[in-house]
């Protein structure tokens, strides 16, 4: 009698296997959705980091550009920083005879997308090196 009872309880039924597979599939689908959200957030974060690096490089470029060459920087160019491909548009506004405002708009155009970023740099005409020059 004990042998009959042991043999009837020894195996796993098909219903138990199907229930276990159903639970496993629900868990795996939830993990897949979580992984998708994490990868999307990582991609967004990378795009913002690259855009910030591009903005810092553009600001340093304008700050290092000689005063007389600021007007030659006007226009739009395509550039890249790391994996970010972007368009950089520069405008120069004369505030006074010795003050200019340079506006740079960085718009990502490649596979990494982020909102456009605007940098405004106010430049003053440098003082002459000699106190005897006007």
User: What pLDDT is stored for residue 2 in this prediction?
Assistant: 55
| 127 vs 123: CA distance, rounded Å | 12
> Tokens standing for 120?
């405004």
User: What pLDDT is stored for residue 68 in this prediction?
Assistant: 87
Q: Does residue 43 sit within a domain?
A: yes
Q: What is the DSSP letter of 131?
A: T
Q: Does residue 129 sit within a domain?
A: no
Let me know: does 97 contact 67? Beta carbons within 8 Å.
no
Q: Does residue 134 sit within a domain?
A: no
Q: Does residue 19 sit within a domain?
A: yes
User: What pLDDT is stored for residue 9 in this prediction?
Assistant: 65
> Tokens standing for 13?
């039924």
**Domain count for the chain:** 1
Q: Does residue 13 sit within a domain?
A: yes
Q: Whole-model pTM?
A: 0.70
Q: Does residue 130 sit within a domain?
A: no
Question: Among 47, 48, 64, which Cα is nearest to 102's?
Answer: 64
> Tokens standing for 91?
């405008």
Query: Would you give per-residue pLDDT tens digits along the chain (134 residues)?
Result: 455 555 566 678 889 999 999 999 999 999 999 999 999 999 899 989 999 999 999 999 999 999 888 888 899 999 988 888 999 999 999 999 899 999 999 999 988 888 999 999 999 988 877 777 66
User: Apex CA 46: angle with CA 42 and CA 49, to 5°?
Assistant: 140
The 3-state DSSP composition of the chain as helix, strand, coil percent (nearest 5) reads: 50, 30, 20
Q: Which domain holds residue 28?
A: 2-124
């Amino acid at each position: 009698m004990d042998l009959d009872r042991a043999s009837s309880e020894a195996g796993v039924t098909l219903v138990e296997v199907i229930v276990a597979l159903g639970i496993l599939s629900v868990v795996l689908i939830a993990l897949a959705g979580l992984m998708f959200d994490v990868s999307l957030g990582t991609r967004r974060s990378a795009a913002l980091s690259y855009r910030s690096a591009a903005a810092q490089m553009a600001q340093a470029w304008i700050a290092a550009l000689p005063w007389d060459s600021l007007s030659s920087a006007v226009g739009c160019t395509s550039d890249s920083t790391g994996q970010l491909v972007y368009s950089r548009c520069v405008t120069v506004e004369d505030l006074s005879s010795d003050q200019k405002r340079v506006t740079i708009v960085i718009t990502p155009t490649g596979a990494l997308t982020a909102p456009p970023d605007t940098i405004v740099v106010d430049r003053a005409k440098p003082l002459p090196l000699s106190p005897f020059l006007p």
